[in-house]
Amino acid sequence: MTDKPTRRALMRPVQLLAIAFGSAVFALLVGAMSMGAFTQQPVEVIAQAWTVAAIIAGIVFIVVLLFVAMLLLVVDPADVTKTIDRPILLPDDEDDSAT
């Protein structure tokens, strides 16, 4: 076995789903409040507000899940454990920066 972290160890699927679910709940509450779900209106208006908020939450869940999964594909597992002992923004050639 190697001691390199795998992609699964970097971000477990439960954590990925939890981030997407938290974002969807936030979008659900914001959508419901902005559509007037917590006001004194007829039942049809409140039901329509919750329906639109649920659709928004579903879209946000899928988009955040795909976005975080795509960002996870960019990370190289070998670079996570590598120590960096120099400034990141400096060029690799130290001879060019000295002149």
What tens digit of pLDDT does each residue of 2-54 get? 566 666 666 678 888 999 999 999 999 999 999 999 999 999 999 999 999 99
pTM: 0.70
Task: Judge contact between 70 and 20, C-beta under 8 A.
Answer: no
pLDDT reported for residue 85: 77
What tens digit of pLDDT does each residue of 46-86 get? 999 999 999 999 999 999 999 998 988 887 767 767 777 77
pLDDT reported for residue 47: 95
Q: When comparing pLDDT for 99 and 22, which is higher?
A: 22
What is the SS3 string spanning the chain? CCCCCCHHHHCCHHHHHHHHHHHHHHHHHHHHHHHCCCCCCCHHHHHHHHHHHHHHHHHHHHHHHHHHHHHHHHCCHHHHHCCCCCCCCCCCCHHHHHC
| Residue 23 burial (CB count, 10 A) | 18
pLDDT reported for residue 22: 97
pLDDT reported for residue 26: 98
pLDDT reported for residue 45: 94
